[in-house]
Structure 1
Amino acid sequence: IFYASKRETQAEMAHTCRGTINLSTAHIDTEDSCNIVLSNGGRTYHLKASSEVERQRWVTALELAKAKAIRMRNNQSDDSGDEEPSSQSDKSELHSTLKSLASKLEDLSTCNDLIAKHGAALQRSLSELENLKLPAESGEKIKAVNERATLFRITSNAMIN
């Protein structure tokens, strides 16, 4: 069960609860880059994150909590006694997935380091080239390339952070 609060300030959040929603039967949707909609039957909750990254963290956490709630509901209604093997296979699958994600995260970290290293080298080279005494036409082209490199650096930094 997910608890939602209507709050005017952070301090009031712990004291004012707007209700609950059963995640195992809830529908989780995103409206835009910062908004999440939780609905279940007649109840709908609109949540707003401070950024797209935070919204994605919330959606991921809610989806994981929903999957856990569904498993718990199914385990409670399943009296066949074969819960342990499926639990072990779930653990094995989770371990495999975590291992794969850790490997991909390491690859992303390596790519991040390479982008930062090569981006800095490109920026230095362009600055050195800009400082050379060249005809006016060459200077304009160098300036355009330098602006594009700056846009690339800004974009890659935004992606990395």
Structure 2
Amino acid sequence: MARIVLERFLQEKEQAIPSKTLINSMLRDPSQIPDGVLANQVYQCTVNDCCYGPLVDCIKHAIGHEHEVLLREMLLEKNLSFIAVEGHIIHWIESKASFGDESSHQAYLQDQFWSYWNRFGPGLVIYWYGFIEELDCHRERGILLKDCFPTDIVTLRHSMAQR
């Protein structure tokens, strides 16, 4: 709502459509808004935003970091570097402390996962809060999805001992 009000305010003031860069800059730093009352209202909206505000960003960042530390501890405890999960070799693991919905997963595929796959080979994405099962459709190409650290892993050490 603050974005829309700010856009309209600037549009009337400048008689032109403001750029997204300018709007985003003013939303991040409301002191740039030339009207003091509006600047304060935009600041209040941003601070109290329960979905995208700075407090929510801090919480999301902390939860994400917590899950990365948890994953690192699990890997170190088991002394793992490369593993096989459900018959697939895994060279990298990405920890996502979120639910894997279609839109965020497609963005992650484009921005992160395929580039990891190109650099390191097959990998595993752990969506700690679950994911839509239909999104786990790239296994044969080398990207697996799970909602927890796999318990059915096979290591090189493990497979050599069985021989």
Q: Which has the higher contact order (CA 8 A, sep 6+)?
A: 2
**What TM-score do the two structures reach when normalised by structure 1?**
0.30
Structure with higher Rg: it is: 1
Higher helix share: 1
